[in-house]
Chains A and B, each alone.
Chain A
């Protein structure tokens, strides 16, 4: 293995960057922004290096760093990435610079703002690379603080309650997660994710829990605690009520981070932790879980349709897109026992999940970026009915945002399609009724996205905006990478799939027993 602690360095870079920027004075805005961008680009470079050196053929964890931290408690400093982790790291590395660029105009306490964004990135890197519960939990929690303050201090008119709700919901989930893992540690003596997954596979975990606690259903209770922690983060209906407020009130560049990366933390948690360690419980609860996924997909789409604020529409749409990930996840777990299905189906579904995570991260961030650009031009207005016929005045903007919107819709040729296709391809054989119901979600999504296009861009021109300026050169350069990626990944998803496939296969094998 490598002797250089690449992953530690990757996490430390934004951390130190944040500290340096926070130390700047309030007047040095340009320096703050510039430094922040520089650090995030360093992070991007680091992520790309990792990608290059990643051995795609192996599904195992690579770039391992493992040290004893607090031996008596079984806490280790254990980092490593497999395909899943690498993908998430890459996503973070891409979205954060975009977000920083999008927030170029934020003046108020720019140094603190940028420092907080960098610390958020450090926390995200840490979460996606940690493999020991304590270590992972530290970063999981650490992400909350910058997010809270980013919403609270720079957000919209109702930012206070939005930030508080966000924080408390997530904390409740974290506490139940903590309690569950403490119980596990007590029973098994381990905090190590990989070890615990092995135990779950061999059935040792359940027996140990039973032995330690003597409650009949302790496994379920522990599972529920962990489930809650992640369910709040994704979010799964009915734990999603914090999201619309938070996404709407946060400044749009922050929402890019929230929807682009932070929401993936929840799905990551499901994949990395919940699925390997609690497959039996998930199987047991398969039907309720599937229903939850379906509800998430369908209800959020309908809710999006009813919204009048652009950001709220996109917020609900986020919930919807992630619902598909969960659908596939649950289907894969649930189908493992008894039914003798080719592993290909499951691998396909999980591949779809990973793809969807990445693609949605990219697309949703891009969409919110566009919204922020629009807000800039409209003086803060972002209601559905505030606009009309904009394509006549800002054709380039319309074109580019249109591409993003269609990607979100799932148009073939763009990146959004591949993920959803793979998911449905995998889910249909495993749980046809669920897949059928979920297509309602697809339908409603199409409806509201098209409505959005129609209301904002087509139709008669709203005279108010007849002088609206189109995208400047710098702005075009800003959105170009994202749009390019949307096309590239749309026609060549292998770029990602190649890296993650081995990991996915390993994950599926994990579940086969």
Chain B
């Protein structure tokens, strides 16, 4: 049933293409209905999943038998978490794009194509199929940013597309090499993830293939120092674009790191474990530090995404059950929180004030003019800081616990990153909403700002509810994630059992 999330999205694309050219309203409604449908399917399918600890096949038909590729969609607990995230992100992204007037149907067509591709990645258990969906998402991303973005949109879009493309091609090299070696070892060709995960690749081979594939996926996940596309891209993107980019697309990279790179090459991970942890921690601290000194509101959030993804990568590097669990939970949590933050910055503030410069925003007293935006940003900021009660805390807690066992010094540095994270959010609060700066007597904004519209409110409430619910009842998601990781027959068994628990 979960496969319908993909199909519904693409059907939505087709329907949108057939709509008359300038009917923005119809386009929005079609897009929203499609997203809601796919979200509902995602939730229902996830809840219906009898045993999240195992991989449940949805469909498996041979595709290209000569190379062993099959159209193989399946889901385990981790897929479910990310599929649900995608559903939420899809719906709220559309709600926050309700005001797009220019070429609306094309915007939503690209948007839904992106969503469909993302669902596909999270549900694919054939490596080639996963790769197909992964690359598929690059094109809609490019157009969404290049056409409907803001600051330096064409440059940002091209940079993002090229980085993603290079990353995915690094992965391709690794995949082809692995496929060849696997075929030589077993005598028959296969691209089935589960089959490949049982193969022991030679150690020398893993030594260079693993970093290649990991970095290839890591580029999209914002691995330092390959993260430079992220701030530019996020800032250039339109609000829904940033929400999806930071919220979901960066998770594609992390998911690929886990599902493909780490599962296929467990010894390879161990060889490079310390380096990954180091890069992750640098990302956490660097991202937070740079966010602290930005003058543009959106750049703060963009860099904060790099910092939060650093936690995901740190969790992955721990190679123990709790760290990995934290990494997956952080993927979900950050997806929601980043969506919220970008929604506030992009849609609520920028679309009204047309400036993101703190010096300008300071004089506007937005805390009084847009109280809903202020409160939303406070709550989102607090969640981003990792305050208990919100989803980020449980995730970071797990990552830190996992990291303590293996990298104590890095854990302390990560703690520093958390503190800096507090600082830049505080700064953003001060400068954007609650500043004490003197309001100039004759400001250029004599006209009142448009009030926060209903779609925005609904979107904000959905996201806030999600992060609160998971913050208070993390078991809801952990019940999906942990059986998956802990089952002795799972694909992660080789990864976890070889190292310290």
Contact = CB atoms under 8 A, between A and B. Distances in A.
B455 interface: no
A153 B434 contact: yes
B483 to A, nearest CB: 10
A316 interface: no
A137 B393 CA distance: 11
Contact of B422 (A152, A171, A213): A171
A169 to B, nearest CB: 10
Interface in B398-455: 398, 400-401, 404-405, 408, 411-412, 415, 418-419, 422-423, 426, 430, 434-436
Interface in A168-208: 168, 171-172, 175-176, 178-179, 182-183, 185-186
Interface string A130-142: 0000100111011
A174 to B, nearest CB: 9
Contacts of A212: 405
Given A175-B419, A182-B397, A138 B405 contact: no
B382 A72 contact: no
A402 interface: no
A73 B397 CA distance: 10
B475 interface: yes
B366 to A, nearest CB: 13
A164 B415 contact: no
A179 B426 contact: no
B389 A178 contact: no
Contacts of B404: 179, 182-183, 186
Contacts of B475: 69-72
A186 B401 contact: yes
A137 B401 contact: no
Nearest to A148: B426
B257 interface: no
A153 B365 CA distance: 12
A160 interface: yes
A179 B411 contact: yes
B418 A137 contact: no
B439 to A, nearest CB: 15
A168 B422 contact: yes
B478 interface: yes
A488 B412 CA distance: 49
A168 B419 contact: yes
A280 to B, nearest CB: 21
B281 to A, nearest CB: 14
A110 to B, nearest CB: 14
A159 interface: yes
Given A142-B389, A178-B400, A178-B415, A167 B422 contact: yes
A128 B430 CA distance: 31
Nearest to A137: B388
Q: Determine the main DSSP class of B at the interface with A.
A: helix
Contacts of A183: 404
B388 A138 contact: yes
A175 B397 CA distance: 11
B68 interface: no
B482 A164 contact: no
A176 B415 contact: yes
Contacts of B336: none
A167 B430 CA distance: 13
Contact of A164 (B389, B394, B405, B426): B426
B398 A73 contact: yes
Nearest to A173: B419
A69 B473 CA distance: 7
Nearest to B429: A152
B430 A175 contact: no
Given A70-B394, A167-B426, A168-B423, A141 B415 contact: no
Contacts of A211: none
Contacts of B436: 159-160
Given A72-B482, A73-B398, A176-B415, A145 B426 contact: no
A318 B426 CA distance: 27
A73 B329 CA distance: 13
Contacts of B389: 138, 141-142
Contacts of B325: 72
B387 interface: yes
A172 B418 CA distance: 9
A141 B394 CA distance: 14
A18 to B, nearest CB: 13
A15 to B, nearest CB: 11
A73 B396 CA distance: 13
Nearest to B381: A145
A182 B400 contact: yes
Given A168-B426, A183-B404, A134 B388 contact: yes
A215 B411 CA distance: 15
A51 B400 CA distance: 40
A149 to B, nearest CB: 8
B409 to A, nearest CB: 11
Contacts of A69: 475
A182 B422 CA distance: 20
A149 B436 CA distance: 13
B372 to A, nearest CB: 12
A73 B473 CA distance: 12
A188 to B, nearest CB: 12
Contacts of B385: 171
Contacts of B430: 160, 164
A70 B471 CA distance: 11
Interface string B169-200: 00000000000000000000000000000000
A145 B430 CA distance: 14
A178 B401 CA distance: 10
A179 B412 contact: yes
Interface string B124-162: 000000000000000000000000000000000000000
Contacts of A178: 397, 400, 415
A384 to B, nearest CB: 26
Contacts of A149: 378
Interface in A41-82: 69-73
A149 B404 CA distance: 33
A80 B154 CA distance: 59
B282 to A, nearest CB: 18
Contacts of B394: 70, 73
A141 B423 contact: no
A333 B226 CA distance: 52
A168 B421 CA distance: 10
Given A73-B401, A186-B405, 10 more contacts: A70-B474, A73-B322, A139-B388, A153-B434, A176-B415, A178-B415, A179-B400, A182-B397, A182-B400, A182-B404
5 contacts: A71-B475, A139-B388, A141-B389, A160-B436, A178-B415
A-B pairs, top 5 by smallest CB distance, nearest first, are A138-B388, A171-B422, A175-B415, A160-B436, A182-B401
Interface of A: 69-73, 134, 137-139, 141-142, 145, 149, 152-153, 159-160, 164, 167-168, 171-172, 175-176, 178-179, 182-183, 185-186, 212-213, 215
